[in-house]
Amino acid sequence: MVRCLASVLVVPLLATALVCPVHADEARDCVQARDAATSIKACTELIRQQPANVVAYNHRGNGHRAAGDYDAALADFTKAIQIDSAFAPAYNGRCAALTLKADYDRAIADCSKAVELNPRYAAAFFNRAIASGRKGDFERAIADHSQAITLNAKYAKAYNGRAWAHLKSGNKVQAMADVQHALTLTADDAAALDTRAHVFEAMGKRNEAIADYRAALLKEPTLQSSLDGLKRLKAKP
């Protein structure tokens, strides 16, 4: 029987690696798998072998969240925090899961803890911005998206998130500037196309809005906000 001490390397912004030759396959799939089911299965096996592996719990939580099982995600993020109360990615992950459950105050508290532990954690500022925006605090959302962008100038999702917050605040010009920048960073991103469509709609530019809603749906055919936009504008998908 080969024994191995698993070492965990946690690099800023959740670039994580699990180093242990015996469990290399599970570690790779747990962290790098593109589909949630593969990640969950690999992380579960890794946890069976290494019950205190905080990174495996965190990534399994990410897998559960991606699969829509938010309660299972919360359980894994909480377990990771119980193992290591200074592990910022688990607070960030739990923040995102709580936002999806519309528990915005607890989400904001968790993301605040994540940035307290790691003041350069752009993703935690982004997720706190999302929670604040969902709560209707657009000023705080804009501030946090701006901080995420300061930390990562190529953070397309933060530009798109800030565009949405500006739009909800009534600042259509700044919203358009931000979403245009998001699209220069990630061309043809469905979420950004949908945001720009909403901005065009708010500006009274019906044809441009319809074109962007349709373009978003080509990328993500079930995107409900774009389907709703076309319905509002009495246009076919």
pLDDT of residue 34: 84
Q: In the predicted model, is pLDDT for residue 22 greater than 60?
A: no
54-66 and 36-49 helices cross at what angle (nearest 10)? 150
In the chain, residues under CATH classification 1.25.40.10 are: 9-153, 156-237
pLDDT, the chain, mean: 91
Distance, in Å, from the CA atom of 106 to the CA atom of 98, rounded to the nearest integer, reads 7
Tell me, which fold does domain 9-153 have in CATH? 1.25.40
pLDDT digits 0-9 by tens, 61-108: 999 999 999 999 999 999 999 999 999 999 999 999 999 999 999 999
Q: In the predicted model, is pLDDT for residue 21 greater than 90?
A: no
Average confidence (pLDDT) over 161-177: 98
Q: What is the pTM of this model?
A: 0.88
Which residues lie closer than 8 Å to 132 by C-beta, 6 or more apart?
A: 104, 108, 138, 140, 141, 144
Out of 3.30.360.10, 3.40.50.150, 3.20.20.10, 1.25.40.10, the CATH code matching 156-237 is 1.25.40.10
Per the CB < 8 A criterion, the answer to whether 131 and 95 are in contact is yes
Compute CA distances 23 → 43, 48, 164, whole Å.
11, 11, 43
pLDDT of residue 23: 59
β-bridge mates for residue 10, sequence order = 16
